[in-house]
């Protein structure tokens, strides 16, 4: 697919996921640079960031060869939005299968596209995408070097029933498994990574979610920062289109 005047060069492919037992759309924009895996919001698809003009504001970084942007369908997020239609434990199970897809199927696709078998990846996302970005880094710090969470919801247990809070849920949620993580190689690697938790303080935002996640990271010595963007920033793409280029400009 050719680039338009507003969007960088694009590659789109449907990956048949063994983990999720379905096709998952995977998309890449750009040619060179640090790979950035941008997770969609809850229920979003791989091209959501394009429709909401995130690629327009990221275009200078893409065209300068500083970043390549990747995204995929939000399989776990969609399971969360449809949770009332499924039996207890459905979302945590699907969320863990989505994590397997990302780590075992999508990351190799990204690295093949980058022609670098061990390249580090930046994880980013807004809302539930922020949860996925932080979870990806916390579960796979050997793959993800940084995470950028914007307007994040990091404790999804508030939307679930008691029966959903099983072992699958525990290991899918950094808010829950990090406090009990022992002095392991995983924790040692996490202490070499960086997490940014950015949030507005305006309509539909919940800055306390980012503060709580920050306190959990601090308790384990994981480098992070919590950035509050003020009451004029609401839970919306206008906020995230301002945030992400700034952070990627610092990191890439």
Output the CA–CA distances (angstroms, integers) from residue 4 to 1, 7, 49, 103, in the order listed. Answer: 9, 5, 15, 31
pLDDT interval class at 9 (50, 70, 90): confident
How many structural domains does the chain have? Answer: 1
User: What are the phi and psi torsion angles at 124 (to 5°)?
Assistant: -145, 160
Does 2 reside within a domain?
no
Higher local confidence (pLDDT), 86 or 43: 43
pLDDT interval class at 78 (50, 70, 90): confident
What pLDDT does 3 receive? 46
Does 15 reside within a domain?
yes
HEC sequence for 100-119: HHHHHHHHHHHHHHHCCCCC
Does 61 reside within a domain?
yes
Mean pLDDT of 29-35: 96
* Residue percentage of the chain with pLDDT more than 90: 86
Residue whose tokens read 């070499």: 192
Does 4 reside within a domain?
no
Q: Which of 189, 190, 207 is nearest to 198 (CA)?
A: 207
pLDDT interval class at 7 (50, 70, 90): low
Does 5 reside within a domain?
no
What pLDDT does 80 receive? 82
pLDDT of residue 77 exceeding 70: yes
What pLDDT does 86 receive? 72
Does 110 reside within a domain?
yes
Does 20 reside within a domain?
yes
pLDDT interval class at 5 (50, 70, 90): very low
Tell me the average pLDDT of the chain: 94
What pLDDT does 87 receive? 80
What pLDDT does 82 receive? 74
Query: 203: domain range?
Result: 10-251
What pLDDT does 1 receive? 41
Higher local confidence (pLDDT), 6 or 80: 80
Does 40 reside within a domain?
yes
HEC sequence for 33-68: CEEEEEECCCCCCCCHHHHCCHHHHHHHHHHCCCEE
User: What are the phi and psi torsion angles at 68 (to 5°)?
Assistant: -120, 135
Locate 203 and state its tokens: 């309509």
pLDDT interval class at 188 (50, 70, 90): very high
HEC sequence for 72-106: ECCHHHHHHHCHHHCCCCHHHHHHHHHHHHHHHHH
pLDDT in tens, 82-137: 766 678 888 899 999 999 999 999 999 999 999 999 999 999 999 999 999 999 99
- CATH classification at residue 108: 3.40.50.1820
What pLDDT does 128 receive? 95
């Amino acid at each position: 697919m050719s680039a338009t005047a507003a969007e960088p060069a694009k590659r789109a492919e449907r990956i048949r996921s063994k983990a999720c037992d379905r096709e998952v759309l995977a998309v890449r924009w750009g040619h060179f640079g640090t790979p950035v895996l941008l997770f969609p919001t809850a229920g979003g698809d791989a091209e959501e960031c394009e429709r909401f003009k995130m690629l327009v504001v990221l275009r200078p970084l893409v065209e300068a060869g500083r970043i390549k942007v990747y995204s995929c369908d939000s399989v776990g997020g969609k399971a969360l939005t449809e949770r009332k239609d499924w039996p207890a434990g459905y979302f945590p199970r699907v969320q863990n299968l989505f994590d397997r897809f990302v780590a075992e199927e999508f990351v190799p696709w990204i690295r093949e596209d980058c022609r670098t078998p061990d390249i580090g990846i930046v994880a980013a996302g807004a809302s539930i995408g922020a949860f996925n970005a932080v979870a990806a880094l916390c579960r796979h710090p050997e793959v993800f070097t940084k995470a950028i969470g914007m307007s994040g919801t990091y404790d999804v247990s508030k939307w679930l029933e008691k029966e959903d809070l099983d072992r699958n849920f525990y290991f899918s949620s950094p808010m829950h498994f990090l406090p009990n993580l022992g002095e392991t190689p995983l924790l040692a690697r996490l202490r070499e990574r960086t997490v940014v938790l950015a949030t507005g303080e305006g309509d539909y935002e919940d800055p306390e979610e980012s503060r709580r996640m920050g306190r959990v990271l601090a308790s384990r010595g994981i480098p992070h920062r919590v950035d509050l963007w003020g009451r004029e920033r609401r839970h919306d793409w206008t906020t995230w289109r301002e945030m992400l280029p700034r952070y990627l400009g610092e990191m890439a």
